[in-house]
Amino acid sequence: MKLSRQLQAFCARIGHEFAQPELLRQALRHPSVATVAGDDNQRLEFLGDRVLGLVMAETLYRADRDASEGQLAPRFNALVRKESCAKVARSVGLGEVLKLGRSEMLSGGRRKDAILGDAMEAVIAAVYLDAGFDAARAMVLRLWQGLIASVELDARDAKTALQEWAQGRGLALPQYIEIARTGPDHAPSFTIEVKLATGKSATATAGSKRVAEQEAARALLARLDPPG
């Protein structure tokens, strides 16, 4: 069956024309709307995660031949984390073409990092199955270009940096407080506040406590004087 105009426009944005359109449809089908077991995008997400990982590992390995494993690992993690996948998904309007159940639509599923990130990985797998690894790699490198260029900044461990900032000024360690948890059990959203003894604070929301803490720390660091 031919793709709708909306999906054709999406294909143009990601730069791939599908020979097997059903692969794309499945990649965009969230579990909340699937009617048959295995008809959603979870298996594709599993595969796409691995394809993305290989593309990024190879890219980082070739880009900096002097980097140690310890230097490459945080860069890799920054590029493949769910939040990065969600950022790319937003850049190509993936949320607009997602198929979601009514409850997910009402709870803002088209904006959730976890849902967008999973769907982006599923789309990568769909391209891989449709046209092979080279096609998937080309798409990933094109869509991730901006993130790859700024990976050094993104790879920073914000919690460690904030802790060092506080210690360097004789302050107590930053405190992280969970102030909200929303969403269903399979796709929760956590809002974390980080506070310094000075009273300065920042909040962030993400699909895991760890990521929300990192994002809150990063937001607070951006408001502080440089370490020194």
Domain at 158-221, CATH class: alpha beta
Task: Give the pLDDT confidence score for residue 161 in this predicted structure.
Answer: 83
Q: Are 195 and 177 in contact (CB under 8 A)?
A: yes
What are the structure tokens assigned to 52, written together? Answer: 């993305």
Domain(s) labelled CATH 1.10.1520.10 in the chain stretch across 5-154
Residue 113 buriedness (CB in 10 A; 0-12 / 13-18 / 19+):
buried
Q: Which of 45, 49, 113, 118 is catalytic?
A: 49
pLDDT, residue 79, reads: 93
Residue 31 in contact with residue 122, Cβ under 8 Å?
no
Which tokens belong to 215?
């994002």
Residue 49 annotated as catalytic: yes
CATH topology for the 5-154 domain: Ribonuclease iii, N-terminal Endonuclease Domain; Chain A (1.10.1520)
Q: Which pLDDT value is given to residue 227?
A: 43
Buried residues in 74-105 as b, exposed as e (16+ CB within 10 A): ebbebbbbbbbbbbbbbebebbebbbbeeebe
Nearest to 221 by CA among 192, 200, 199, 198: 200
* 228 residues of the chain, pLDDT tens digit each: 788 999 999 999 999 999 999 999 999 999 998 777 678 999 999 999 999 999 999 999 999 888 888 788 888 988 998 889 999 999 999 999 999 998 888 888 888 889 999 999 999 999 999 999 999 999 999 999 999 988 875 566 788 889 988 999 999 999 999 999 998 887 789 999 999 999 999 999 988 888 899 889 988 988 886 543
Residue with tokens 């993305």: 52
Catalytic member of 104, 121, 154, 215: 121
Location of each CATH 3.30.160.20 domain in the chain: 158-221
